[in-house]
Amino acid sequence: MKFTLILLLTLLAGSALANDDTGSAGRDAERSHLQALLAAQPGAEQECSAQSSNQVELKACLAALLPQAQQDRLNAEAAVLAAMKQLDRAQQRQHAVPALQKDKQAFAAYRKAHCAWVAASYGSGAGAGIAEAACLIDLDRTRAHELSKYYMR
């Protein structure tokens, strides 16, 4: 929840920064500050472990976080797609959108393979599902953050 609030504030601030005419130095400083806030966030497993007393509660916490992390990533993907469409229109070319689509496909493949590997690294242990869910959440949050750099300019 805390991460979602910070991400929302980041997105709102990014929109304000995009319309700000104080210059790139001010935007760069604000972007750096927002990135530091996001980087300081704990991973999903640590976040849920702090409020869970057993694996059942931990799994439930992660299950609650996953849809929001996925939605944050999807929202960021939509925002950066809109920015890249605008860029392609302004430059009268079709370069940024196709490149973004390739990037999106590559990320989806990486996300799936990486988190499957994380789960497999637990063998047949009960922690595999927890690790995989935490991996998906962390990657979705990181992706949303990374994409925000490109539509907050």
The ranges assigned to domains in the chain are 2-151
In angstroms, what CA-CA distances link 3 with 8, 18, 28, 72, 82? 8, 22, 21, 10, 24
pLDDT for the residue 9: 38
Say whether pTM exceeds 0.85. Answer: no
Model confidence at 40: pLDDT above 90 = no
DSSP codes of every residue in the chain: -HHHHHHHHHHHHHHHHHT--S-HHHHHHHHHHHHHHHHTSPPHHHHHHTT-SSHHHHHHHHHHHHHHHHHHHHHHHHHHHHHHHHHHHHHTSS-HHHHHHHHHHHHHHHHHHHHHHHHHTTTT-THHHHHHHHHHHHHHHHHHHHHHHHH--
pLDDT tens digits, one per residue of 66-123: 999 999 999 999 999 999 999 999 999 999 999 999 999 999 999 999 999 999 999 8
Model confidence at 19: pLDDT above 50 = no
Q: Which two tokens stand for residue 96?
A: 């940024």
